[in-house]
Amino acid sequence: MNPTVLLSLIIFAPAIGALLLAFMDGRAVSLLRNFTLAITIITFALTLMLANQFNYGESGIQFEVVRNWIPSWNVYYRVGVDGISLPLVLLTTLVSMLAAVASWSINKLHKGYFILFLLLESGMLGVFLSLDFFLFYVFWEVMLLPMYFLIGIWGGPRKEYAAIKFFLFTLVGSVLMLIAMLMLYFTTGGQQHSFNLIELAKVAAGGSEHLTSGLTPKMQITAFVLLFIGFAIKIPAVPFHTWLPDAHVEAPTPISMILAGVLLKMGGYGIIRIAFPLCPYGAYCAAWFLVAIGVISIIYGAFAALAQTDFKRLVAYSSVSHMGYVLIGLAVWKIAEGQTVNPDMWNMGINGAMFQMLAHGISSSGMFFMVGVIYDRVHHRNLNEFGGLMGKMPVYSGLSVGIFFAGLGLPGMCGFIGEVFVVLSTWNFNPALAIVAASGVILTAGYILWALQRVYLGSEYKGPHAEEITPITPRESAVGYILLTLAILLGVFPGIVFSIMNGSVTELVDHMQAGYDHAATLLDQQLQAMR
């Protein structure tokens, strides 16, 4: 298929599906389910076609499509894909497809649910594919409302509180992003103001042919901080993480899968795609701070997970901990005498962070799904009232243990690669921080093994509704098998993913160096002028 059509089709196929759903009979539940599943499968197939046509040897943006949108404000419909966004697009459609399978457990207002579900998928794909800041922002916000209602209507007992908290946190982040967007827009000049992310990045490195920028290094720091807070809320990094345990716990299982599997990745993606390239000097100045926040997130998230008695809350805090690695991997940028120290190590850190995002997308959506499976049967999640499931649900328990091990970072599974890459590159940045980050793995092992022991091992099941424990259904086990297979596959052949993104990541590292040089020159000129 023509790649230009393909990209737009990927973004809007779910939205079109949602529109069609609106005209269907709300009582034909199985039709609605199957139709939604079909749409997500089609979208996944389309992204596979995209991956097939993608040129892995090339590092820049591919299949770029530009159309006029609101020309009087220099806003364009500009989409494209590169090595950084492609893996995340694949992850999004995969997780959405699996979440659609998991949506069989939804038991009220099916039509509304599936419409919102598909709109959400469109929003997520739009975020990963858009190359215009305005378009990115619109898609970023488009996800808010469906997510609010998905948590608010189909969620658990504290759903309203969790939903508004999610909405509020994200909105605060996005209005900060909006200010940064205005700053970047109004400081660019040349022919006109611009929202074009590619050109804005080039101009930050002093290499744009079309734009000039009045963004001083000082303003870059401000813009970076604003952008970073916006994205850190989404990641979520401590201390902006408090929405996450509530939202994840109250959301219905498929939505938890999407939240953990895809939405958190948008924070990391935003940093790689926007905050870093557009404000390289700001990123450099904040590097220490970012790594510190990452390390704190790892340790704090792990300790918090250890203290939980709610199974789902434990998984939620494990996300905070795991996403800390992403932040560290991105930020281990050290400069001495104007040159990046060991750019290869930083390159490895970014690669590791990207890999960690994918790995976490697979393992944590798997973990949430596994929690959901048992919750559907026994209607509670108290860790102290499980036990002995291995005997009653052997297949389910086996799959769960596998996926939890992937989250733990067992060698040979996906979680391991990302963590090792990140920790190794941190050593180059600061050995002490590397040691602390690495010790997070021990805590992770602690809470996961302890949870596995309490839930699956032991002689007998101690909680309520023991009679309703039935073996896992083929539909459920299919989701488990797919995720476990991927977890092992990526753990054994991480090269599959690295080959996609390596070119783009290398380009990013070079770009950041150029951006730093450019800012340093500007600062020098300022100093000269002051003398």
Question: Distance between CA atoms of 304 and 316, rounded to whole angstroms?
Answer: 10
Q: Which of 35, 113, 149, 243 binds another protein (CB under 8 A)?
A: 149
175 lines the binding site for another protein (CB under 8 A):
yes
Angle, in degrees to the nearest 10, between helices 29-53 and 85-102:
160
Calculate the alpha carbon distances from 254 to 104, 162, 480 in Å: 9, 16, 13
Please identify, among the stretches 144-152, 318-326, 366-374, 457-465, the one whose residues bind another protein according to the rule CB under 8 A. Answer: 144-152
185 lines the binding site for another protein (CB under 8 A):
yes
70 lines the binding site for another protein (CB under 8 A):
yes
| x/- track of binding to another protein for residues 103-142 (CB under 8 A) | ------x--x------------------------xx--xx
Please identify, among the stretches 84-92, 176-184, 254-262, 304-312, the one whose residues bind another protein according to the rule CB under 8 A. Answer: 176-184
Min separation Cβ 238 and another protein, Å: 21
Q: Which of 29, 178, 482, 489 binds another protein (CB under 8 A)?
A: 178
If residue 160 lies in a helix (H) or strand (E), which one and from where to where? helix 159-187
Question: Distance between CA atoms of 377 and 318, rounded to whole angstroms?
Answer: 23
183 lines the binding site for another protein (CB under 8 A):
yes
153 lines the binding site for another protein (CB under 8 A):
yes
Residue 24: Cβ-neighbour burial (10 angstroms; 0-12, 13-18, 19+): middle
Please identify, among the stretches 178-186, 255-263, 315-323, 405-413, the one whose residues bind another protein according to the rule CB under 8 A. Answer: 178-186
- Among 108, 176, 118, smallest CA distance to 147 is for 118
160 lines the binding site for another protein (CB under 8 A):
yes
Output the six-digit token pair for 286. 């904040």
3-state DSSP call for residue 456?
coil
How many residues make up the chain in this entry?
Answer: 531
Min separation Cβ 316 and another protein, Å: 22
Per-residue buried b or exposed e for 443-463, using 16+ beta carbons within 10 Å of the residue's own CB:
bbeebbeebbebbbbeeebeb
Q: Which of 44, 128, 166, 167 binds another protein (CB under 8 A)?
A: 167
416 lines the binding site for another protein (CB under 8 A):
no
145 lines the binding site for another protein (CB under 8 A):
yes
Positions in 236-295 near another protein (CB under 8 A):
none
Backbone angles phi, psi at 339, to 5 degrees: -120, 145
Q: Which of 24, 51, 172, 443 binds another protein (CB under 8 A)?
A: 172
β-bridge partners, 68: 76
Question: Distance between CA atoms of 403 and 107, rounded to whole angstroms?
Answer: 27
**Binding region for another protein (CB under 8 A):** 67-73, 77, 109, 112, 137-138, 141-142, 144-145, 148-149, 152-153, 159-160, 163-164, 167-168, 171-172, 175-176, 178-179, 182-183, 185-186
